[in-house]
Amino acid sequence: MWSDNETTRDFLNFSGVADTVAEIIVQAHGRPISIGVSGAWGVGKSSMIKLTRESLEKRPSEDGDREFIFVEFNAWLYQGYDDARAALMEVIASTLEVEAKKREKGVEK
């Protein structure tokens, strides 16, 4: 049985696609977009997302802050729960709170 561990090592030659997805995200200039990644178990969906994240993180930012904030949510942990949506919102809120604290300047603290 193959393991199902995502990776940022590009065993499947997805880096070109990941770079293209990253460019689409950058070119959106903050406008809302939807990007879907679908496929059977083990085809590399999670790895594709990690490669896209890596591609975005490599891009220089103008002010030194990270331009993109990544929220990781494992929906499998909440499969069958009625409050999966609430759990997702909690993960988003806590991730944004942590990022906001990192970005606080001395005067704001």
Q: What does the pLDDT look like over 20-67, one tens digit per residue?
A: 999 999 999 889 899 988 989 888 888 899 999 999 988 877 665 567
Domain assignment of residue 97, given as a range: 69-109
Assess whether 3 and 41 both reside in one domain: yes
Based on the fold, state whether residues 83 and 34 are members of the same structural domain.
Answer: no
Please give the residue that has the higher pLDDT: either 12 or 103: 103
DSSP 58-72: HS--SSSS-S-----
Higher pLDDT, 82 or 87: 87
State the pLDDT at residue 1.
45
**Structure tokens that stand for 72 in this block:** 């990781």
78 and 29 together in one domain: no
Residues 52 and 19 reside in one and the same domain: yes
Are 86 and 101 in a shared domain? yes
**Whether pLDDT at 109 is above 60:** no
2 and 25 belong to one structural domain = yes
The pTM assigned to this predicted structure is 0.72
